[in-house]
Every structure is written in C-alpha cells, then in structure tokens.
Chains A and B, each alone.
Chain A
Amino acid sequence: MPLRAKVASSVSRTAAALSRAAGRGDGSVIGGWIGLKIDPDLLAHLSAGRAIALISGTNGKTTTTRLAAAAVGVLGRVATNSFGANMPTGHTSALAKAGSTPYAVLEVDEHYLAQVLEATDPHVVALLNLSRDQLDRAKEVAMMAQLWRSALVKHPEVRVVANADDPMVVWATTPPPQHDPRIAPPHVTWFSAGQRWHDDSWVCPECGSTIQRSGVQWWCSGCPLRRPEPQWVVEDDGVLDPTGAWHKVKLQLPGKVNIGNAATALAVAAEFGVRPVDAVLQLGSVASVAGRYAQVDRDGRNIRLLLAKNPASWLEAFDMADHAPTLLSINARDPDGLDTSWLFDVDFAPLRGRQVLITGDRAYDLAVRLDVNDVPFQHVQTFGEAVRAVPPGRLEVIANYTAFQDIRAELDRVN
C-alpha cells in the first residue's frame, strides 16, 4: 500500500474509534470519510489483494451481507461493513478497521454500485432486487436498473449472483442488444428466493410490453426477456443447491424472506469455493443485524425490532412478525425520504385482530392509512407509553429507518 494510503488508513481507524468513544455513532462512516479526504483512492488501495463480494439491492442487503460474511468465514477472516454503512465511506472505514483480511463482503447502496465496482474490483457481485424506495429522492426503479446494467457491461469479468424472480434484476444483468459480441457476457448464477412484491415490474424494461406471470414463472409478452432457470432455490425451510442437494437452513432470524437471503449468501460463498454443507452451519450463528430482529426484555415485555423501509419490506415484516401486540413507527426525515405516500402501497390488513399502536413523527399519516384500511389502533406519544400499553409478553416493533434508530437508541443501541 502506498504511504499516503497507509496514513489515510490509520487516521481513518483512529477517527472511527474516536467517534464510537464519543458515543456519536457506530463510527462506521466518519472514519472512512476522513480517510478518503487524505487519499481519494484509499478504497481501491484497501481492496487490493482481497477477494471481495459486493451485495446490493433495495431490500435485504444488510442481512444478506451479514449471512454471506458468516458463510465466507469458513475460509478465513472476512472484512465487512456490518452496520449498514453502505456507501464508499462506509466501505473504506470497514476495510481499514479490519486490517489485512483475505476476504471482504460489502453491502453496497444500489446508487453506488458502479462506483464501488470500479474501486474494489470484486470477485462476485450479488444483485437482490429493485423496488420503489424513497421516490422523492431515489432514482426511479427503471433508471436504477439501467445504471446497474451500464456498470456491469464495463466489468465482464465479475461473477454475478442474481435474483431470477425479479425482472428488473434479470434485465439489468442481461447485456443490451447493441453489446459488443466479442466481449463475453458476465457469468451469472441465478437464485430464486421468492418475491412477494410485483408492483414495480409489470412493464418490461426492454420493450415496454406487459410482463406476464404464472406461479413463479414470468415472461415478457413482447420480447425474449423471461425468468432464467435458477440454480439455487428456496424449498420449504431449506435451499436446493445447483447439484440438487437440499440443505436445511436453521436461522435465528425470522421469516421466509431470510431463508431467501440465506440462499443468496450460500450462492455467494460458493463463488469463493465454500461448500454449502459447510456454509449452512455458519448461518445459524447470526442472531441480529445492526439491531434488526434484536430482542430486548423490558418490564416483562419481550420487544423484537423489525426494520421496514419501503412497501416490499413491510410485506415481509408482517410475514415475520408474530401474532402479538405491534407498535408501528413512521418518520419522514431525510434518510427515510420525505414522502409518506408509499403507506398506501402497503396493505395493513394482516394486522387486523392484533393490538396495534402507532407513534413517530408521521403517526398521523399512518393513522389515516390504518383508518382507511379498517385496522383499529391507538396513538402513543412515546416508546415507553407503548411498552406500558401492552400486556407482558411479545411486543413486535416495526419501524422505518430513523424511527427504528430512535427506538434502538431507547434500548441502548441494541445490536
């Protein structure tokens, strides 16, 4: 590593430690920010000599990164940005902090995939899904797929692990028709993890025709785009690998969606040569991910935290949550997106019959949504009030990003 990079890396580690010691955060962004100021190529320097996997998509990337890091850990030490700091500053910080490791598994914000592909020269990139998320700020879904597609065309050597169930991901992974035929298309391994959310992929991104669906299959009615045959498939509470062997997946994390994330993690690990039979044992060691799924006991209540940031992830959260009293909290601060319209893309009917409490900066937006949805609820001003309002036993908390962080802070930044 050049001297400048060494200095930058060392300063970056110190800043992160100071940030944590001062109680100002996880230290997962600030260190990288300072390091990149000193050496703009620091991320590339820190990546050199490591075998790297990037994991990106709208939903599930933090959890999948955690699971994939555990699976790749069979081979040796793995650097990873486990606090969900998923932009280049976070990657820089994570790699600097980890020191020299043979492997790295990095979660990447979908907007930064092109930049991070360029800087880290990864061995494998996993593409999970693309759906509507913070539309007042984020790129629209079709534009995001186009960005991914352009980025992948520039890196034909990278191995791709991609979701066969998401037409936008499949399209992004397919080289455009005017692609230079002398350059081989990327090597793609397809996985199928199921997809509850279809509302962003009714129109073919290639030709504008309607996407037809039947069971798990989908195909464009106007062009050859269709669901590829997946090599990794979720079946019951386990995963079928490309040889047809089935592996039972025992997770501490709830929900079918996490079996899907596990399948992706196994596929990523396999790209490094990890056998699924070895990797699958590691997945059960993951108990919570940056506070997500964490359980805290307080005043006789067992509080479980579920993060849901956009319509697709709310549907998954309802699937994961027990039939128990449920607190919903919604903010619309910058990291959440300022627009709450998406609440009407979520059907809250699964909550009928549960005791529902609501709170957060934008509780009234949620109140109107639940009222229209015929879901009775009670509005509470504070988290403490919510805890007192429910009987002893499980309290499920489903919150969007900053609301989740607020509640996590109340619970002493539980991880």
Chain B
Amino acid sequence: MSTESLRIVWIYPDLLSTYGDRGNLLILARRARQRGMPVETLEVRSDQRLPATADIYLIGGGEDGPQALGAQRLLADGGLHRAVAQGSVVFGVCAGYQLLGTSFFAKGTQYRGLELLDLASDRGPTRAVGELAGEVDPRLGIPYLTGFENHGGRTRLGPGVAPLARVSAGVGNDGQTEGAWRGKLLGTYSHGPALARNPALADLLLRWATGVHQLPPLNDTWHERLRSERRHAVAAAARP
C-alpha cells in the first residue's frame, strides 16, 4: 500500500465502461473506507498518462473498438506494466480481462494483449449471455462466484495462470473454467459491477493491496440476500 492512502485507479472509463463498471471502483473504495483506510480514487482517461504508483487498477468491459484502442494505449503507455512489476493489484472484467492476456479478437482481427496473464482469447461460436456461477479456486479462500456474463469470447488458459472458478452455470472461459488469476492479477467474465455480487472478492483485492490479512467484517446483509436470491434463481432455471 502506498504510504498515505489506498490508491485505486480506474483505467480508461471513457473507453472501457459499458456495464456499470463504475460499481467496482465504488465498492472497493467504500469497503476500504468502512475499515478506516484513507482512499484516493482516480479515473484515468485514455488521453492521460497512467500513474504507475497506485495500489489497485481496475479495467472494465467495452465494445470491440474501444477494447482494441485501450490495449494499444496501455501498451504504448507502459504504466500498468511498471505498476505490476512493483506489485500492484489488477482486476480486469470482460474486455478488460481479455486484454490482460497475450491476444484477443476484436472486429474480426487478432490484437496483441498486454501479456500480463498467460491466456489468449478467441471468438466463440455463440455469444455467452446470462447468469454465471461457479466454485472459486479454494486457494483464494472465498465463497462461490456469482455474476452476469455477456461476451462473444472464449479464453484458453496457459500454464502460467490458474482458473478463478469452476463453472456451474454459464460459460466463462469455455464452459468449464471461468476467469483467471496469478499473483495479484485477477480477471473475470462476470461483467460490470462484479464486486456487488461478490463482496468477498472485493475484500480479497483489498487484502492483496494492503497486506492486511484480517479485515474487520462488514454488514453485508444486502449483498448476501442478493447472492442467495441469484443462487436460487440459477438453481430454479437449471431444473428441468
């Protein structure tokens, strides 16, 4: 954690913000403040330099054109790579997840990714739209993942990353696994405000960023009701 406050950067909201992505920034900042941490949030537009000294970087979803443009600008900027080398946390969602990998497809063309995660994304046969759920990698110590996905990609994971979850509903990477993580970098197809449905994931990012392993618990009544309601809805939809 940087010396005075927890610094959270939202990368390129002008390009990569399609599905309520702002929610992740709001939720992380709020959960940190509720624990008494001073927080500084920064929205960095694509025509600005990316500071390399923040604690957490968020990259959201976007349409094909903005995704390709975002990757190109992040490669040219280099700030995110320097931040990762210094141990910053990165959380990528949907298009933002794909562009952390080695390559992705947009508008029928293959683009070079940031090569921060060992994964590559292709166009899938169909668009994956709907509820997404699965048991999270037990090493992360958080409960099941719940979300909504809306993407046309299929992602192959290389040996350098572990899947975030095993899919029980929806498609995720390929119908089997969903998302990926390595070190303090984590990506998911659970799009938009993924942390609204997964407050434990928000706390995981905060633990990674602060090095504080025991965060005081918060009142998560509404998050838990939402999780439970979605879990029942997914189960009901799966019944023949």
Binding site for B on A (CB under 8 A): 132, 135-137, 140-142, 199, 202-203, 208, 210, 221, 338-345, 364-365, 367-369, 371-373
Contact = CB atoms under 8 A, between A and B. Distances in A.
Contact of B20 (A140, A141, A344): A344
Interface stretch (B11-19, B133-141, B166-174): B11-19
B225 interface: yes
A364 B225 contact: yes
A84 B79 CA distance: 49
B226 A368 contact: yes
Q: Main secondary structure on chain B at its contact with chain A?
A: mixed
Contacts of B17: 199
B23 A341 contact: yes
A58 to B, nearest CB: 15
22 contacts: A142-B65, A199-B17, A202-B14, A210-B14, A210-B46, A221-B47, A338-B130, A339-B19, A339-B148, A341-B148, A342-B20, A343-B20, A343-B23, A344-B20, A344-B21, A344-B193, A344-B196, A365-B226, A367-B222, A368-B197, A372-B196, A373-B26
Given A136-B148, A344-B20, A364-B229, A203 B69 contact: yes
Interface residues on B, range: 20 to 34
Contact of B30 (A136, A140, A372): A372
Contacts of B223: 368
B192 interface: yes
Contacts of A339: 19, 148, 150, 192
B14 A203 contact: yes
Contacts of A202: 14-15, 45
B154 interface: no
Given A142-B65, A344-B192, A373-B26, 6 more contacts: A136-B150, A140-B63, A343-B20, A343-B193, A344-B21, A365-B226
Contacts of A208: 65, 69
A344 B19 CA distance: 8
A372 B26 contact: yes
Nearest to A370: B222
A199 B19 CA distance: 11
Contact of A136 (B22, B129, B193, B229): B129
A132 B148 CA distance: 17
Contacts of B18: 132, 135, 140
